[in-house]
Amino acid sequence: MTFIETLKNRRSIYALGKNIDGEKAIAAIKEATRLSPTAFNSQSGRILVVTEDAQDKLWNSIVAGDLEATMKEQGATEEAIANTKEKLAGFGKAYGTVLIYEDQDTIKDLQEKFDFYAENFPVWSEQGTGIVTMNIWGALTEEGIGANLQHYNPVIDADVAKAFDIPANWKLRGQLVFGSIEAPAADKEFISDDVRFKVAK
Ligand SMILES: Cc1cc2nc3c(=O)[nH]c(=O)nc-3n(C[C@H](O)[C@H](O)[C@H](O)COP(=O)(O)O)c2cc1C
């Protein structure tokens, strides 16, 4: 698969199952993370991969519980809460989830060391997390594994940290759910090139 072919094949796949080689997936996740560029080579990304019982616990206990509490606070109906739980149970059916973090201590150290760039480091950290997320997504695509990207942070941060012993300096930025592709992605429309690109000579 060429790089562009990988980009074409990478889609948000929501119907995911458990029929994949987990070892291969985890190896791809690690390699994609290691090889991702970061500002000042800070390597500020941190990763928690959950599978098996931990995958079930994440989606059906932690995220479901935290969202139910939040939705109740906001006055959501029982029906809306039940629909949300059903959606979350769908994520639980996937093989695993990559929880993508940024190490805030690394960012603080850089801010102290390179005062001139202090304001840039949090921005570059966000860019870094986007890059690593996309590289993991691409590496999984190359293995024929589907994924979708979720953002239940910060609602779930404290309970996830408690359940999986996550250091206080790790800040959760996204959750990439992955597994076997059980149904293809929906069609996607692209805006016109004229709107997006300028080429100058
Ligand atoms: C930064 C970013 C945040 C996203 N957040 C979510 C999300 O919270 N939930 C979700 O279902 N999809 C999320 N997505 C997926 C996008 O909706 C999806 O990538 C887009 O519609 C294009 O579809 P495709 O991934 O199939 O190409 C996110 C994507 C990006 C790049």
Question: pLDDT tens across 3-14, in order?
Answer: 999 999 999 999
Pocket lining: 18 vs ligand 1, CB cutoff 6 Å: no
Reference 138, options 21, 14, 19, 31; nearest CA is 31
* pTM of the predicted model as reported, rounded to 2 decimal places: 0.98
Question: pLDDT tens across 44-99, in order?
Answer: 999 999 999 999 999 999 999 999 999 999 999 999 999 999 999 999 999 999 99
What atom of ligand 1 comes closest to residue 130's alpha carbon? 1
Query: How deeply is 88 buried, as exposed, middle or buried, from its count of CB atoms within 10 A (0-12, 13-18, 19+)?
Result: buried
CA 130 to chain centre: 9
Ramachandran region of residue 52, left (φ > 0), alpha (ψ -120 to 50) or beta?
Answer: left
Domains of the chain are: 12-54+91-182 (3.40.109.10)
Pocket lining: 150 vs ligand 1, CB cutoff 6 Å: yes
What atom of ligand 1 comes closest to residue 13's alpha carbon? 26
Pocket lining: 148 vs ligand 1, CB cutoff 6 Å: yes
